[in-house]
Amino acid sequence: MKYLKFIFKRNNSSLWKSLPLYIKAFALYFIVLDLAFLIYAVGSVYGLVPAIKYITIYGLYTTSLCSGYGLIILTLYSFKAIVACSLLLGKKDTYLLGFIDGSLGIIFWSYATLLPIFAEHFNGPHILSFEILLLIPYNIYMGKSLFNNAQNPKTF
């Protein structure tokens, strides 16, 4: 608790104050979720906790961390944690990282949603996720903020 007070006391950046409430909420959510997920993933690889049965993000899913999809999902979760920490601390590259994060999310969501429709021999389950409803406004906000900071670099 003392650490959280230190972070919020030290974080006087205009970036954190100017973010919409839903982006602040999801930044904090992903910091906690990603930290727990990464600890659990490392623990399951070393046999400290039971193996992960099912992990998913953006409609991508896997039952094994050692598969290709598992590494992609682990990388996406790690990148989301980096972006969330950057948002929280108000770093200068935050808008660029946020825009990349939103763009990757839209690309992977499109892949996971459209692959079962167009693939002839797809035999996995079709997972419909509604994360796109949050990804599009997030990406638009980050893109506009990135463009505005490129136009007025002294406002950051």
pLDDT tens profile 103-132: 999 998 888 888 777 766 666 666 667 888
Q: Given a cut of 70, is residue 9 above it in pLDDT?
A: no
The radius of gyration computed from the CA coordinates of the chain, to the nearest angstrom, equals 17
Burial code (b: 16+ CB inside 10 Å, e: under 16) for 62-88 equals: beebeeebbeebbebbebbbebbbbbb
Across the chain, what does the average pLDDT equal? 79
- pLDDT above 70 for 15: yes
Per-residue pLDDT band for 100 (boundaries 50, 70, 90) equals: very high
Q: Which residues contact 145 (CB under 8 A, 6 or more apart)?
A: 95, 98
**pTM for this prediction:** 0.76
Residue 56 phi/psi, 5° resolution? -150, 150
- DSSP state at residue 62: E
